[in-house]
Amino acid sequence: MAATFTAFFVPGVKALCLRLGLIDSPDKRKQHRSPMVRLGGVAMIFGFCCALTITWLIGGFGLLPPLKDQLIWTTLAGGLCFFLIGLADDLFALPPFPRLIGQVSIAMAIWSQGLRIGAIEMPWLGEESSLMVLPPLLSLISTVIWLVGITNAINWLDGLDGLAAGVAGIAAIGLISVSFSLHQVAAGFLAAALAGCCLGFLRHNFNPARIFMGDGGSYFLGFTLAAISIIGPAKGLTTVSLLLPLLILSLPLADMSAVIMSRLREGRSPFHPDRSHIHHRLLRAGFSHRKTVLLLYAFTQWLGALALVVANAEMRFLWLTVATAILITAVLLSRKELIDSRKTNQPLNTTSPRVK
Q: In this predicted structure, what is the pLDDT of residue 81?
A: 97
Nearest to residue 169, comparing CAs of 213, 211, 215? 213
Q: 22-42 pLDDT, tens per residue?
A: 887 765 555 556 778 989 999
Nearest to residue 115, comparing CAs of 263, 234, 227? 227
Most confident by average pLDDT, 175-189, 210-224, 280-294:
210-224
Q: How far is CA 159 from CA 186, 237, 272, 276, 352, in A?
A: 31, 31, 15, 11, 9
Q: Indicate the DSSP class of residue 346.
A: -
Confidence of residue 335 (pLDDT cuts 50, 70, 90): confident
Taking each helix axis from N to C end, the angle separating 96-112 and 66-92, rounded to the nearest 10 degrees, works out to 170
Residue 338 pLDDT greater than 80, yes or no: no
User: Alpha-carbon distance 336 to 344, whole Å?
Assistant: 13
Q: In this predicted structure, what is the pLDDT of residue 236?
A: 46
Q: 131-155 pLDDT, tens per residue?
A: 677 899 999 999 999 999 999 999 9
Nearest to residue 276, comparing CAs of 303, 249, 258, 289? 258
Q: In this predicted structure, what is the pLDDT of residue 28?
A: 55
Contacts of 234 (CB under 8 A, 6+ apart): 184
User: Does the global pTM surpass 0.85?
Assistant: yes
Considering only residues 29 and 356, tell me which one the structure prediction assigns the higher pLDDT.
356
Q: In this predicted structure, what is the pLDDT of residue 141?
A: 95
Q: Are 96 and 212 in contact (CB under 8 A)?
A: no
User: Alpha-carbon distance 227 to 224, whole Å?
Assistant: 5
For the chain, how far is it from start to end, CA to CA, in angstroms? 32
Return the domain boundaries, the chain: 2-270
